[in-house]
Structure 1
Amino acid sequence: MKIVNQDFEHDPHPLADVDSNLPTSQLDQSQQNTWKKPLTYLGLILAGAGITVASLRLQPHFQVLQPSLPATASQPSVNLATDSNPNFITAVVNQVGSAVVRIDSTRTIKNPNAAIFNDPLIQQFFGYNLPKVPSQEIERGIGSGFIIDSNGEILTNAHVVNGADTVSVTLKDGRSFKGKVMGADPVTDVAVVRIQADNLSAVKLGDSNKLQPGAWAIAIGNPLGLDNTVTHGIISATGRSSTQVGMPNERVDYIQTDAPINPGNSGGPLLNASGQVIGINTAIIQNSQGLGFAIPINTAKKITTQLITTGKVTHPYLGIQMLTLTPEVKEQINSDPNSPITVEESQGVLIVKVAPKSPANTGGIRAGDVIVKANNQTITNAEELQQAVENTSAGNNLQLKILRNGETLNLNLRPKVLPANAK
């Protein structure tokens, strides 16, 4: 489970970027210096707006081992599942529970204290009777997953299995299998694990595009190692952007739920009242209650197909950093006498930075441009532009309408495949 730490005074939209972690090798020194002042000015503007975002990833539930040491009366419910069966949650659990699994993983990590205790100078100063500290430690994690195919294909979070040396899958009936990671996509935090088994119970996948706030939500998983835990609540919101949640490097419009989820629920299913999977539980907000987030199952379906077929996922990128343009941001930029740019539009996406040798750079995009349309669709915020890029296959044309110094320009860009080390 990822824990996100946020502190917002108002709408959290700092440098929301389509390609936030571009390879540093693409930035030569001269171009870094070119953008040093503009970025400083924009940084001061954003700081003045009181916007701060920080995100932390907490692995599902890890231990480190040292090897050597409801509806109102005026508006009755229209959910037939609950009307016809007041014990619908029990019915969902009975229907789906056997398809929810526990995933145990181990990975070897470096012991940060080993170098200190093994330093000859430290040993000489404190004596050679210092305890022997192993250079590596074994980290054990517990997460969740759910079977999507009776022949042993399992969906979970990428952060549950990333870097794992071993993966073990335990079914509800107690049987345990060695798991093989078929592929993991850190950009959407989706992974597929396969076990050698057949005739398994499998979940039914729903349609997350039809979700509405207020609908029932049921979570099943292994929080804190407590197997087959069931919680319930409602869908609090849909379409929460990665930036709003505090994870701008990922490309997901999250489902928000108040169904209690905790570390160890990572990768488990979020279900509707009919027992269909509508999301993969993945993140919570630190020091808060009732703020959990899940990856929409429609997003996971698309990623899963690629992972099973090729073992990897390709994401297009432009190579820009951008900022949603609002009247407030426009006023702050234009009122700053030291600002390197002026903005005439009050709606669109302001380009803050363009990476050298990127598709945006070769396509003619410049810092200070305002993108107002992508493929003839009006762009009002950074999330809409990011989605337009994601929907354009690498190598295909992306038509952009931009405003630059009072002029309207139409540009055709060809997004490239996001480098593997850019995440």
Structure 2
Amino acid sequence: MSLFVILLFLCLALLGMPLAFSLGVSALAGLMVAGFDLSILSTRLMNSVNSFPLMSIPLFMVTGELMLKAGIMDRLVDLANAFIGRVRGGLAQVAIIAGAGLASVSGAAVADASALSSTLVPSLKKQYGLGFSSGIVAAAANLGPIIPPSGAMIVYAFMAGSSVSVGGMFMAGVLPGLLLFLTLMGLCWLISWWRDYPISGQRVTLSNILHQMRRNLIIFMMPVGVIGGIVFGAFTPTEGAAIGCCYALLLGFFVTKQLKIRDLPEVLLTAAKTTAVVGAMIAFASTVTFLFTIDMLPFKLAALLQGLTDSPFVFMCLIALMLLVVGMFLESNAAYIMLVPLFHPIALQYGIDPLHFGFVFVLNLVIGMLTPPVGVILFVVCGITKVEMGTLVRESWPFIVAMYVLLLLCMIFPGIVTTLPHAMGY
């Protein structure tokens, strides 16, 4: 039965059907094949989404959209320019810094890709051409789900159950996110030097740095306050997301004064669309997961994998190879919802730290958002910048390789991921 459901889902997904529809049809077909009362479908659907922690997903989405409408991009670029100065590939590094700053308030790669492409590419392409400029913003957008707050980490923690906390996942992403940020900065400099791109940027002055820090301090108080409150237990992720929404509204209306009442319907509609898709996938996937459990698929997979290897590292390598393929063909949210309930318990049986496995799992699928043929970020950037897909893939591969190197380092040296959350009691 499990094999039938999986094959049906993959066939529908590869035929181009919407993922929520594919999951729904697979769940319904699985129930019919198994001979279950179809009324169980409605019960499972409602129970899976009737969850207080899940409310944090749309609230964080609304927060990110509000911050973009509030004009945060202009301030992030000004701040980045103040620190970079006149260096080789300076404007490219400004884009990476802006991407990291945007990641700290949005947590969604697609939204970041849209914002960075529309605001930075027109300036970038004057110095670097359209291809490299598009590759830069695609790589910078991929920092969104890694640097907390991260919508992907919230979904993973929900699907993994009580063994993984949202705060722990957020802290697990801090050091790898910083390493990836520095690596992308270095790559921008190296490629710019190799291609002899012009030196750009403005002269660094202490007064300008202090001015930009004072001007933007109030913006970065939001992620510091929200993430800090979640990590130290002052409030739940859902409450933190709600506080972030209120903060973004106040910031947009009274500080930057760029947010207008007429912007709110568009913000809410955008967040509602994304939430509806994620919610539908979670609802239908809960039924599919129920069928897998009844069919004892997790136990069969555990026995199969443990028969292949007793090494936790080899197990993680096998999962990484599988996710490499999955990320090329399946949207990341669908992959979390389908695969986390299957492989997270097996990782615990191998004695792997749940935060370590969780972050590696997330990072693997985040990289998949940049890999063809179904790289969501690639399609977003191409749609906005009008660059050819082949050109974008060719310009993005050094950044993709760097991300896979980080993934391998995180697998070999778990302390990169676990040191900070363990030090904070997770």
| TM, length-normalised to structure 1 | 0.26
**Higher relative contact order, structure no. (Cα contacts within 8 Å, ≥ 6 residues apart):** 2
Answer 1 or 2: which has greater strand percent. 1
The structure with the greater share of residues assigned to helix is 2
Larger radius of gyration: 1
TM-score after normalising by structure 2: 0.26
